[in-house]
Structure 1
């Protein structure tokens, strides 16, 4: 960062003050993370906009706990104060008092030496992964608890041994004989449900792929073409701004790649599938699909190679889905910018990952170029 940029961020940048964080805790913001030192009290010079803050407690033996994080839209010169709870080894959810806020803001100069500078070298990468995430979108998608956790938060429903036994008896009446022993074991366990307020508020993906009253021909068409499903999602959540769906795609990607949240990975896969298999919608939303190509370009480039092979390429999900997308693009106007951009993206993927989207093997999935 040059001196001029540093001065602008020092004047206009936001500040995250994170008090009482134990030494050795893993702390990160956006694309950069560190192990906290003894003098750590937060981060300064944060560019205004949406950011993802995350942390993991660390034991004396060096074992790191599952990651927890939150999205936050920092405003110019804003000072956000968070506190560490030593008992739960987590961030406190209670807001600081006005007196505490005023005291911290009045001591900004004294705090400066305890604050790490925002990792500006990776800021462009962060923007490329989050540019469609607005303050209102982050607020809608973020769990009610305000925290995104790598491990699903479960709670036990109120039950007794007798109530569990009665439930098991009802289930065993209809269970095949071979599974009754399993039901007997389950009857001794409490019922676990996702803790209220901890679930990310992703958009629901409609299970019915075709419109009500569809003709047989339409049922066949929309069973292969996800355009109707896409229309329902856009009409329900993004009627004013279809590009907001790309923000949710980015939100889900960040949740799983940086937040290590599996639900984010599942939502990302679902949205990628819906968008890439929507043929009819290509002509209706060229800007949306042009933006999709740009979003996927940066996302694919950030997935670690080992992670990519183990998860994203499992069952050839991404390559098979993109194969459909590129095939649909070839059926559009040969002179359209969308088609040109899409096929250029195909060339990039083929060159970088050696994927061949042109061949059609027996299972109709792309193959790796030897």
Structure 2
């Protein structure tokens, strides 16, 4: 955990920094905080000199069984640490998870604080070199928002924890659910899949992202209005903001950052899917861009840092599939250059566009299926005769 640090910064973090005391973590466990990850050694007892604020602690259990051993799926949790705070956890080998109940015992915490000097050689320093990067990725996220979005369990898990919707222990149970018997041979892949029970997420383990509105137009909309609302998603965006971020509309940028961190660091693919959906909603809301310049100036800053952290081959493998990112940003830049847009926002968007063009060689001037027909969803009972 060695790291080069300015002496003044080191002194400040030594005096004001928080400490994570993590006891019993098995050797070989992959453990990290924020944007840095290590493999736990035999002397590891925690992390010291942690800057106060929001952090993401993540870990993957290690099994020595098999050739070279195996690392389990990543688990993470968001923590907001206060100056000089000591947060304690013991490794639970049965659950392969951190148990923070020791932190609720003030006597135990005071005992550890009194012996902190003896514990110091076993504590690794916070990786200060990644602090600026971490803050740039999470500056719109606070603990209140993180608590609102993370699972009720408090754990962000790379693999979904799923259980059968109905316990089907007997053949008659399967028959009641109209499922085929297990003792019959499968004639096709579909038939085999149909034999599997329907699954659901274990209660308390699902990320609680704001649902993206499925209906993009207001009640009673005419066909022309529906078409307009499908081209300009401002109505859907305003619906999401009023429903989930009414008091603090800019929290939607914090949600975008939260989803990105869950994917990039927490390895949660659902985070990537929500990031895509939320980004599409923001970038394709022309009227909102005119009405909420502060939101969109913030969006440019958020995307600048996020796109700077994604590995280059990631775009080839996932993001650029079906031209998602380039087509979405093309709409954003087109709207940002439209009438009535704040002049500062227009200039900032042009600079951002030039930056992305230079860095990734993306062409935002090319036609990307602009001539495809727009499918209009008609309200119930309305026909075009």
Offset at 1:215?
A: 3.0
Aligned partners of 2:28 and 2:41 also within 8 Å: yes
2:328 alignment partner, one of 307, 311, 321: 321
User: Matches of residues 125-204 of structure 1 in structure 2 within 5 Å?
Assistant: 125-156=133-164, 157-161=166-170, 162-168=172-178, 185-186=192-193, 188-204=195-211
Of 269-278 and 1-10, the range deviating more from structure 2: 1-10
Aligned partners of 1:165 and 1:187 also within 8 Å: no
Quick one: structure 1 residues 118 and 249, their matched pair in 2 at CA, closer, same or farther if it must change by over 3 Å? same
Aligned partners of 2:27 and 2:40 also within 8 Å: yes
Q: Hey, what does 1:100 align to over in structure 2? A: 108
Give the total of aligned pairs: 358
Q: Hey, what does 2:377 align to over in structure 1? A: none
Query: Which secondary structure does the structure 1 equivalent of 2:71 belong to?
Result: coil
Aligned partners of 1:168 and 1:184 also within 8 Å: no
1:12 alignment partner, one of 16, 41, 45: 16
| C-alpha distance in structure 2 between counterparts of 1:335 and 1:284, whole Å | 9
Offset at 1:185?
A: 3.9
Aligned partners of 2:78 and 2:146 also within 8 Å: yes
| C-alpha distance in structure 1 between counterparts of 2:366 and 2:323, whole Å | 15
Offset at 1:267?
A: 0.6
Q: Hey, what does 1:41 align to over in structure 2? A: 45
In structure 1, the gaps of 5 or more residues are 171-178, 366-370
User: Matches of residues 18-57 of structure 1 in structure 2 within 5 Å?
Assistant: 18-57=22-61
Offset at 1:315?
A: 1.2
Quick one: structure 1 residues 231 and 243, their matched pair in 2 at CA, closer, same or farther if it must change by over 3 Å? same
Aligned partners of 1:203 and 1:233 also within 8 Å: yes
| C-alpha distance in structure 1 between counterparts of 2:53 and 2:371, whole Å | 43
| C-alpha distance in structure 1 between counterparts of 2:156 and 2:205, whole Å | 7
User: Matches of residues 114-125 of structure 1 in structure 2 within 5 Å?
Assistant: 114-125=122-133
User: Matches of residues 69-88 of structure 1 in structure 2 within 5 Å?
Assistant: 69-88=76-95
Aligned partners of 1:333 and 1:339 also within 8 Å: no
Offset at 1:313?
A: 1.1
Offset at 1:96?
A: 4.3
In structure 2, the gaps of 5 or more residues are 181-185, 373-385
TM-score, structure 1 as length reference: 0.91
Q: Hey, what does 2:229 align to over in structure 1? A: 222
RMSD (Å), alpha carbons: 2.2
Quick one: structure 1 residues 303 and 183, their matched pair in 2 at CA, closer, same or farther if it must change by over 3 Å? closer
| C-alpha distance in structure 2 between counterparts of 1:164 and 1:234, whole Å | 43
Deviations 1:84-133 (A, max 9, x none): 11223222364545133232222222221111111111110011000000
Quick one: structure 1 residues 191 and 93, their matched pair in 2 at CA, closer, same or farther if it must change by over 3 Å? farther
Matched, 1:59 2:63: yes
Query: Which secondary structure does the structure 1 equivalent of 2:38 belong to?
Result: strand
| C-alpha distance in structure 2 between counterparts of 1:362 and 1:141, whole Å | 35
1:258 alignment partner, one of 262, 265, 268: 265
